[in-house]
Structure formats: structure tokens, C-alpha cells
């Protein structure tokens, strides 16, 4: 879930997902500084008024004072949670395990989230975790600071590496979405999550056949002439202070 990263070759800033704060906060700063960026958008969330699924899961499980004693979600292939002895800190590894499981269970993700919403008392979606509205995206895309890239429809990590249970099935929705984005002139793509476990040769083939010019991964490194254009590295940026970010970027001598 990288939200922002910096690569050296083009001094390029990239943002993933399509958060509303990209438009409200990042864009004006970048326009003022004359900095350009690529923003990889998960188009299915635009205008939904819903948090991205990982943010919703975090809100339901980690920011919730009214969890039931037990959560049973076994039939989704994820472990049930017995919360009798759990405190807020103990929920973190459970949430992390679910985040990982849902990356692979993308087809059932909405089903599980819907069930979870019914099982736990839910507060409202956080404004800080919302994607852009359609009108925000339209205004955003018109900025000279912005190039729009694709990031799948619903942030599905569907083309994972083969596992002991065999290769992940081919996902035609991902291919159709990629082809549609490319037809609409979107030339750039970022793999959801983007680690080496989240894309493979099949992913690269789909991107190339759809007509994308490049695809961004999520692994640290500098971009150079020999970098693979369909898996180029990016330096992940967390929610750091300016000083922390400077420390992290110092080794790259930007």
C-alpha cells in the first residue's frame, strides 16, 4: 500500500491508490514547487465514498472500542479471532494477518468485509482515508503537476506468484480493466502492493499486452537504464516527518 515514493532517475514522485488528500494537499504543494508526479489510481474506489479496504479493516478492528468477544471468519479461509484475552495491542497481529489473507482472497474480500461490518459496531468512514470523488479526480487530472496511472479497479492483488497450491488463476477482470485503462490513454501502471510476491511474469505480460508503457513495483532501489521498465523500483515513503524523510533519502544522494 505505498502512498508515495521517490525515484532518482527522473526525480519522480509517485502516489498510489487515489486518496482525496492527493488532490487536497499534495497537488497544491507540487504545483507551487513545479514538481510533477504520477498518481496511480484504483478507479473502482473513485466516488465510492468508501475507505480503501485496508483502511476500513483497520478502522473496524483497530480503531474500535466495541468489538465482540469472538469473531468467527473461518469459512473465508482466515482464522477465527477469540478476543477474550485480547487487548488493543493484541489485535494488531490479527489485523495484519487478515490484511495479508485478503490480498490473496480478493474475490471474497467484499463478502468478508460486509460480514465484518455486520459483526462489529462500525463508526463512520474517516475523511482522511477516503478516495477522491469523481469531480475531484477530474480537477486533479487537469493539473500540470499530475499524470494519471492505473492501479487496477479495486486494488486486487490477483496475479500472485505460484504457491504450493499452484499458480493463481488467470483473472480476466484484471486484464479487461488494464486494457480499458490503456485504451483511454493511461500509459502507466503500478502493481497493487507491488512487492515481489504481488506480481509475476504473467502480470508483466498482461501489462505489456494491454499497452502500458511501464509498470512500477514496490521494492527499494534507484531507476537506471538497465532497470526493468515493467518492474521499476521505487523508494517507499511512510508517514514520516520531513527530517525522517531526509534521513531515509540520504543514502540515495538525491
The answer to whether 118 and 44 are in contact (CB under 8 A) is: no
Nearest approach, Cβ of 16 to Zn ion (angstroms)? 4
Determine the size of the site formed for Zn ion (CB under 5 A).
2
Nearest approach, Cβ of 196 to Zn ion (angstroms)? 15
**Binding of Zn ion by 17 (CB under 5 A):** yes
**Pairing between β-strand 146-150 and β-strand 81-82 as defined by DSSP bridges:** unpaired
Question: Closest by alpha carbon to 222, among 66, 9, 2?
Answer: 9
Other CB atoms within 10 Å distance of the CB of residue 216: 27
Nearest approach, Cβ of 6 to Zn ion (angstroms)? 16
What is residue 23's three-state secondary structure? helix
**Binding of Zn ion by 16 (CB under 5 A):** yes
Distance CA(171)–CA(204), nearest Å, equals 13
If the CB atoms of residues 81 and 235 are measured against Zn ion, the closer one turns out to be 235
Q: Which stretch binds Zn ion (CB under 5 A): 17-25, 94-102, 137-145, 227-235?
A: 17-25
Residue number of the CB closest to Zn ion reads 16
* Phi-psi group of 84: left, alpha or beta (phi > 0 → left; psi -120 to 50 → alpha; rest → beta): alpha
Nearest approach, Cβ of 74 to Zn ion (angstroms)? 28
Q: Which stretch binds Zn ion (CB under 5 A): 13-21, 69-77, 84-92, 224-232?
A: 13-21
- Contacting residues toward Zn ion, per CB under 5 A: 16-17
Amino acid at each position: 500500500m505505498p502512498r508515495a515514493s521517490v525515484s532518482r532517475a527522473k526525480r519522480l514522485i509517485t502516489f498510489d491508490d487515489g486518496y482525496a488528500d492527493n488532490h487536497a494537499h499534495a497537488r497544491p504543494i507540487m504545483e507551487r514547487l513545479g514538481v510533477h508526479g504520477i498518481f496511480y489510481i484504483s478507479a473502482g474506489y473513485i466516488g465510492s465514498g468508501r475507505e480503501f479496504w485496508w483502511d476500513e479493516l483497520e478502522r473496524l478492528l483497530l480503531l474500535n472500542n466495541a468489538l465482540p468477544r469472538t469473531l468467527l471468519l473461518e469459512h473465508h479461509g482466515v482464522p477465527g479471532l477469540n478476543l477474550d484475552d485480547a487487548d488493543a495491542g493484541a489485535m494488531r497481529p490479527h489485523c495484519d494477518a487478515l490484511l495479508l489473507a485478503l490480498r490473496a482472497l480478493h474475490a471474497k474480500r467484499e463478502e468478508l468485509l460486509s460480514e465484518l461490518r455486520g459483526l462489529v459496531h462500525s463508526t463512520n468512514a474517516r475523511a482522511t482515508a477516503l478516495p477522491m470523488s469523481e469531480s475531484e479526480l477530474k480537477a486533479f487530472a487537469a493539473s500540470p503537476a499530475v499524470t494519471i496511472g492505473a492501479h487496477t479497479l479495486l486494488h486486487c492483488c490477483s496475479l500472485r506468484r505460484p504457491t504450493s497450491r499452484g499458480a493463481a488463476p488467470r483473472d480476466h477482470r484484471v486484464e479487461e480493466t488494464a486494457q480499458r485503462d490503456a485504451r483511454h490513454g493511461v500509459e502507466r501502471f503500478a502493481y497493487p502492493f507491488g512487492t515481489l510476491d504481488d506480481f509475476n511474469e504473467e502480470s508483466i505480460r498482461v501489462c505489456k499486452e494491454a499497452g502500458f508503457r511501464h509498470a512500477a513495483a514496490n521494492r527499494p532501489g534507484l531507476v537506471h537504464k538497465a532497470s526493468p521498465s515493467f518492474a521499476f523500483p521505487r523508494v517507499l515513503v511512510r508517514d514520516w516527518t520531513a527530517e525522517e524523510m531526509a534521513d531515509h533519502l540520504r543514502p540515495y544522494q538525491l
